[in-house]
Amino acid sequence: MTVPRIEVDLAAVRHNVATVKRTVATPIMAVVKAGGYGHGALAVARAALDGGAEALGVADIAEALSLRNAGIDAPMLAWLHGPSTDWLAAIEADVDVAVSSIEQLQLFAAVAERAGRPARVQVKLDTGLGRNGANERDWGAILAHVRELEIAGVARFAGLFSHLSGASRDADLRQVEAFERARAIARAQGVEPERYHLGATAGGLDLPEARYDLVRLGISMYGLTPHAPDTPSGLGLRPGLRLVAPLARDAAGWFVEVGAADGLPPLDAGAAAPLRLEGGDGRSWRLLSVGDVTTRVEPVPGADAEIAPAGSITLFGAPDASRRTTSADEWALAAGTIGYEIVTRLSPRLERRDAATGGTLETAPCEPRRTTRGLVAPRRTLTIDAVQLRASIAELADAGVRTLDVSADAYGIGLETIAAIAADEGVDLVVRTAADAERAAAGGHAVRHDPDAPDVARAAYGFRGGASGCLRLTSELVHVKWVEPGTGVSYGHEFVTAAPTALGLVPIGYADALPRRVAGAASVRVIGEAPFRRGQLSPSDRVPIVGRVAMDQVVVDLGDTEAWVGSPVVVFGTDAADPPLAEVAAWAGVSPAAFVAAIGPRVERVVIGGTP
């Protein structure tokens, strides 16, 4: 082995699906969003179906089309959509779409009327999670409209569903009661969906009342706990992957070439101390710290550090029957997060292999986010200003800095994107790891391996100081709703509204860019124009992220800010009013370079100012 890799245990996925299905005695929808929680969506989807899942769940239509075009014909649901969605793309691919408001249903219906066949729609309700989903006061109207569409032959009511907050058992039971009220409204409206579903992994396992006709199985399909990291499921589930990396040594000691730029959480010596890793020869190692592109390790006391160990080390993953291997849940406990985040944030640059065969894991084709009719995913965009990047490289070259650090695929921007600029300006390309040098060479790029490359070699990106340089990360509001005081927001209800307010949903989560640790600290810029309740929105208004950061989304408290579905959102950027990259990275606890490098594949990279 010469580069880090992820070994995916598809037999474990099949086992886990079958185990949970027996436990809940309910049909299973296998959730394979965000690249199958970092395991590989296509391979996991097939394994889940083989294990007994009846349907698949994804975040957006682009993820659904990727699986459809790879030959997956199972029932499929996509539930996160922006205002410019190409609904027809989902209808033509026989994908169920979820709508969360009557306005969204109207947009869908306008397209469905021209589809030539009944389009499958599911309605999502907010029964107490405080994110997307129709408010209870709108349930009657939205279900009445669904009935009209069914009578007209425009739509088929495929499902009515909601999502539990997990704040407490009592809170979840109150959501069950609310869901029962919704069922009563549906019956009174004379409309009956094909399926009701409420419980996801934790709710399905812990709360029989929430199982209904379907359980949406997420994290336990991958062998990790849906509860606190130190609370195992007790079902005998098997982890679905392990992260393995070759050991290397320099003057400072032992290390592996994977770090925060690859999605690992920031860990210092104190937090990392409990984690014990295992070498390929069974030798035990201790984690010291996670850096940008490397992680420092050392043999446990008593091991002979002068004897060359086996060539690789397992950072976390599937346990061997004869050994003790640190799990992703244990990493999560050390990092103050959850196992979901540990595996989902693993970079697509890390090669996925089938643990059984050793072969490269088959991946689904990457679908364009745009069609001629609209978008098949919400707006999530990393914009690269090629003019500014070129000017920065030239300015640094004039000052004597004639190297450009392109580690971690040019820190997530894309080596292909900037290699031509570097050549035009006559600067050399360097990388900090041998693994990146190997990847660059495989792509036909000449780079120099320099583990001690100075920080100034990556200054052109705008990572130094508070500047955002040539980069801007943007999204949009995909849902806006007015809520009353006392509304709990997102999982666990760690944030509860103190006054009437408007909440907005931004379709960027920890799978995309924002680690969970930014909750309670981070804010974003929402761009609007018109007055809302009082005053006039300033273009520089920033609003806080409230509640827990989820895999695909965050909630912002808009307060009096005028905003609407489709309003642009800036996570960090180059305008004076934008949150600066350095500030956002500080909230995440990583360097600006590592923050940008870890931005996920669902975020579209767009070059402006001329392609390099």
So which residues are the catalytic ones? 33, 491
Query: Among all chains, which residue has been given the structure tokens 């279900």?
Result: 143
Residue numbers in the known binding site are: 131, 551
Asked whether the beta carbons of 309 and 299 are under 8 A apart, the reply is yes
d(CA 159, CA 97): 10
Show Cβ contacts of residue 414 under 8 Å, excluding neighbours closer than 6 positions.
Answer: 605
Sheet with 155-161, edge to edge strand ranges: 195-197, 155-161, 119-124, 96-99, 76-78, 55-58, 28-31, 215-217
d(CA 67, CA 31): 12
d(CA 446, CA 597): 20
Coil, strand or helix at 383 = strand
Which tokens is 50 given? 């083989």
Coil, strand or helix at 595 = helix
DSSP element (H, E) containing 104: helix 102-112
d(CA 384, CA 606): 6
Query: Among all chains, which residue has been given the structure tokens 């909230």?
Result: 587
Which tokens is 382 given? 């990393």
d(CA 413, CA 471): 9
Residue numbers in the known binding site for substrate are: 131, 551
Asked whether the beta carbons of 2 and 351 are under 8 A apart, the reply is no
**Beta-ladder partners of 21:** none
Coil, strand or helix at 471 = strand
CA distances from 91 to 150, 186, 320 (A): 15, 24, 44
d(CA 245, CA 311): 8
Closest CA to 241 of 319, 163, 185, 305: 319
Residue 224 sits at the vertex; the CA angle it makes with 221 and 229, to the nearest 5 degrees, is 155
DSSP notation for 251-268: TTEEEES--GGGTPPP--
DSSP-derived pairing of the beta strands 28-31 and 55-58: parallel
Closest CA to 584 of 571, 594, 600: 571
- Residue 82, phi then psi, degrees to nearest 5: -95, 175
